[in-house]
Amino acid sequence: MEYSNSSNTEQPQTCLEITMEVHRVVPPPHQSTIHKLKTTLKETFFPDDPLRQFKGQPTGKKWILAAQYIFPILQWGPHYSLSLFKSDIVAGLTIASLAIPQGISYAKLANLPPIVGLYSSFVPPLVYAVLGSSRDLAVGPVSIASLILGSMLRQEVSPVSDPVLFLQLAFTTTFFAGLFQASLGFLRLGFIVDFLSKATLIGFMAGAAIIVSLQQLKSLLGITHFTTKMGLVPVLSSVFHNTKEWSWQTILMGFCFLVFLLVARHVSMKRPKLFWVSAGAPLVSVILSTLLVFAFKAQHHGISIIGILQEGLNPPSWNMLQFRGSHLGLSIKTGLVTGIISLTEGIAVGRTFAALKNYKVDGNKEMMAIGLMNMVGSSTSCYITTGAFSRSAVNHNAGAKSAVSNIVMSITVMVTLLFLMPLFQYTPNVVLGAIIVSAVVGLIDIPAACQIWKIDKFDFIVMLCAFFGVIFISVQDGLAMAVGMSIFKILQQITRPKTVMLGNIPGTDIFRDLHHYKESMKIPGFLILSIEAPINFANSTYLNERILRWIEEYEAEDHKKQSNLQFVVLVMSAVSTIDTSGVSIFKELKKTVEKKGAELVLVNPLGEVMEKLQKSDEAGDFMRPDCLFLTVGEAVATLTATIKSQVSNHVV
């Protein structure tokens, strides 16, 4: 078969002889509506097919597999050995040395009593060890969730004038966060969390890290009258309007320990084998600063201290949960926001370390584990917890082999709660502020931001919206702005799908984008367009207008060359789905093309698309063999031969 090519630039015409077998396009196998619905629901809610392990198993084995699915500890527990326990003890003690000072610090960041931070490092890790599927995730309070919880609740309730109500709302918020997280996992709705894109998270985390650090200026400078607002401008204004409250003793101590913590972090980053340096630095800072304050009576010289902490294990708090009253809406809203953020962080951290050790983490099971962990925690005087990246990194580098490291950490915290609380009485608040700053510095990922700028400028704008929104407006509003822009990008991609004109690469039957492959050449009389997205009600009108514009542009160009458009070829390989609006557009497009004296040809429509076109094609126009081809090469070769045959017959 032979057809001639003419370049989209001024190139001489050439003739190519291409012989090929033309393959018949066949309709897809028939499937009932119920079967299609079942397949769609399965791929939406059960893409990992969790029930496949039960197929062909006896009843007794199915019960065992079900118990292991719900409680992963039953799966790895029977194979646990002493050698693994030795590694987990080292890892557990290491992350405990980090969790204790961080727990106290993050509780203060959330405007909660410091003891609540330790409570939250005791019960939740035990729950996660039973229900969680990650071997490396170290559970406890995290800085971002603490910041959001404290800032959102403080908008309506003061932690200073009404500390009991504030604590009640914190526990209630934790319950709703856990309920939301567990519900997402149980209902298999984890894909909702994916709306927080990487660009959104990087910008949000960096902005939140700066806000968290600025909040610590109160402790690092010794200011007593500090703003309750979270924005950059109010915080800096408060700092410089209260210069008379600055304490040189506090500034000196804070600067020294902050430098020590940052140097320790830098050493561990440069040499991962020295992970214990950064892991132990916060606890060493707490011990040294406490000894200095106690020895020099520094609390009488401008350095504020934690004070007496309550001894004993977590008291029950289910009687403090508030499910009625004027603040219920605030608790639910705060729970949703903190729940999404902590869930996203926990799952991302778990998957990161699972990939490093070549095992899988079930996202939906993790959601249920983290959610139930927070629901139980809300009844045992804990506020919202998740898997923290810094602690999990230390856990991983310390050689953790299983979730037993969380149990070891929890037991260490329990011993601290029972016997060591008096030792923290003289711990200065300035050191807790330094610990928080050194921890959140790692959330500012400049190399990742540069990579986003290099790859996708729109994603970079989304990242900046999250960053500046958090800094200048508020944490939750900045997050909402970034999510809104991400959704706008998705809608833009759906409603404005890409269409490209294809040309033939000389000497082959391959057709590629004329703009991309400069050597590709147009076929006279053929307008070959590739539609590169599903067709639905949101984009069908745009596609119809865009294709008509392609036709008008082609006709205007061909009018100068005195050639006629004979075939409009639509390549459907990337059109995975189509709805009734899309089918209607094809009918209208076919009529429009025929009025122009040309013919509409479809290439490689996929199963669902072909089935719907076939059902709507009562006259049989779409399914004619001369209008339906498997490849562009076959379509062009066949239709070119047909034209030549018609010309020959006409001449005869």
Comparing CA positions, the residue from 306, 377, 346 lying closest to residue 120 is: 377
**pLDDT at 15 exceeding the cut of 80:** no
**pLDDT at 597 exceeding the cut of 80:** yes
In angstroms, the CA 496 to CA 371 distance is: 38
Q: What is the pLDDT of residue 568?
A: 92
pLDDT, tens only, 30-62: 777 787 777 777 777 776 677 777 777 888 888
Answer yes or no: are the C-beta atoms of 552 and 594 closer than 8 Å: no
Tokens of 525: 């009389």
Q: What is the mean pLDDT of residues 444-465?
A: 90
Domains along the chain with CATH numbers: 93-304+315-489 (no CATH), 497-650 (3.30.750.24)
**pLDDT at 187 exceeding the cut of 50:** yes
pLDDT, tens only, 399-408: 888 999 999 9
| pTM for this predicted structure | 0.79
For Cα atoms 99, 104, 106, give the angle at the middle one, nearest 5 degrees: 85
In angstroms, the CA 422 to CA 307 distance is: 9
In angstroms, the CA 370 to CA 234 distance is: 35
In angstroms, the CA 294 to CA 360 distance is: 49
Q: What is the pLDDT of residue 370?
A: 94
Does an H or E element contain 485, and which?
helix 475-495
Q: Which has more confidence, 89 or 298?
A: 89
**pLDDT at 264 exceeding the cut of 70:** yes
Q: What is the pLDDT of residue 262?
A: 92
Q: What is the mean pLDDT of residues 160-168?
A: 92
In angstroms, the CA 599 to CA 643 distance is: 12
**pLDDT at 166 exceeding the cut of 90:** yes
- φ and ψ of 486, to 5 deg: -65, -40
**Following CA atoms 325, 329, 335, 341 in sequence, which dihedral angle do they give, to the nearest 10 degrees?**
-160
Q: What is the pLDDT of residue 9?
A: 40
pLDDT, tens only, 108-150: 889 999 999 999 999 999 999 999 989 889 999 998 899 889 9
- Alpha-carbon distances of 504 from 522, 563, 626, 633, rounded to whole Å: 6, 18, 20, 9
